[in-house]
Amino acid sequence: MKSKNQYELSLMRKSGDILSKVLKLALESIKIGATGIEVDGIATEEIYKLGGDLSYKTVPGYKFATCITVNDEVVHGIPTSRKFENGNLVSIDLAVMYKGWHTDAAWSILIGKDTEKEKFLKVGQEALWDGIAQATPGNRVGDISNAIQTKVEGVGYQVVRSLVGHGVGRSLHEEPEIPGFGQKNTGMILTTGMSLAIEIIYAKGSSDVILDKDGWTFKTADGSWGGLFEMTVIVDKKPEVLTCPQCFA
């Protein structure tokens, strides 16, 4: 992966700004009785309103602005007409394109109150920030991966090993792959200006996942909870998060 120049990064910052506003709005719309289709419609309308475009339309066969997963679903969930219920763990994965430049982010929330589920989500958030902190020049991809794995597996949850983070920029998915597990000081060396989508993809139980009959949604093989957190980050001495975590934390 080549580092982006300042003009390219400025376009990615604008893309990230749009994404942040849309994701905040989408998360606020996730409540009891709402549906994934409704949330996706809100996100789609707001992306266009703010001057962005749908990154996921670059994925062959996919027709939505978002991926929405619930409970034991992990990633790539198709928005449906199923109504959200109290106690649901809901994740929304959103990507925005602005003048050909992509940003990618995801966040998981709980509808209602549940101490164990709240702990599960808190660990995922902490793992995300631990991974982002390693996105500095001279570090390697494995330093990000190891930080994520240490946090998630240190409390007994499991990183989903068949799904990974990635570079992002001119394309939605670029090199390098960024697993949520690995050894320090291994993998590609990071340089200033690289743009990465750092993802925490994890489960309460087994790390194994299965593909649902819809052909898109990955679910935990054992039916345990799935969680997803993701930010687009620019590698720098202080990593720059483009997708505005304070907007929807």
Distance (Å, whole) CA 194 – CA 237: 12
| Residue 105 maps to a domain | yes
pTM of the model: 0.96
What is the band of 244 on the pLDDT scale with cuts at 50, 70, 90?
A: confident
| Residue 117 maps to a domain | yes
Handedness of CA 31, 45, 94, 210 (dihedral sign): positive
What is the band of 2 on the pLDDT scale with cuts at 50, 70, 90?
A: confident
| Residue 1 maps to a domain | no
User: What is the per-residue DSSP string for 128-176?
Assistant: HHHHHHT-STT-BHHHHHHHHHHHHHHTT-EE-TT--EEE-SSSSSEEE
Distance (Å, whole) CA 182 – CA 177: 12
| Residue 12 maps to a domain | yes
For the segment 121-153, what is each residue's pLDDT rounded down to a tens digit? 999 999 999 999 999 999 999 999 999 999 999
pLDDT of the residue at 246? 66
pLDDT of the residue at 249? 47
| Residue 69 maps to a domain | yes
Q: What is the CATH number of the domain that holds 116?
A: 3.90.230.10
For the segment 72-131, what is each residue's pLDDT rounded down to a tens digit? 999 999 999 999 999 999 999 999 999 999 999 999 999 999 999 999 999 999 999 999
Count of the separate structural domains present in the chain: 1
What share of the chain in percent tops pLDDT 90?
96
Check: CB of residue 160 under 8 Å from CB of residue 152: no
Check: CB of residue 235 under 8 Å from CB of residue 167: no
What share of the chain in percent tops pLDDT 70?
98
Residue 64: domain span: 6-247
For the segment 143-180, what is each residue's pLDDT rounded down to a tens digit? 999 999 999 999 999 999 999 999 999 999 999 999 99
Cβ-based neighbours of 209, under 8 Å, separated by 6 or more: 74, 160, 162, 163, 203, 218, 219, 220, 221, 226
| Residue 95 maps to a domain | yes
| Residue 123 maps to a domain | yes
Cα 198 to Cα 67, 86, 126, 193: the distances in Å are 17, 29, 13, 15
Phi and psi (nearest 5°) for 157?
-85, 175
| Residue 204 maps to a domain | yes
Token reading at 115: 């101490």
For the segment 8-67, what is each residue's pLDDT rounded down to a tens digit? 999 999 999 999 999 999 999 999 999 999 999 999 999 999 999 999 999 999 999 999
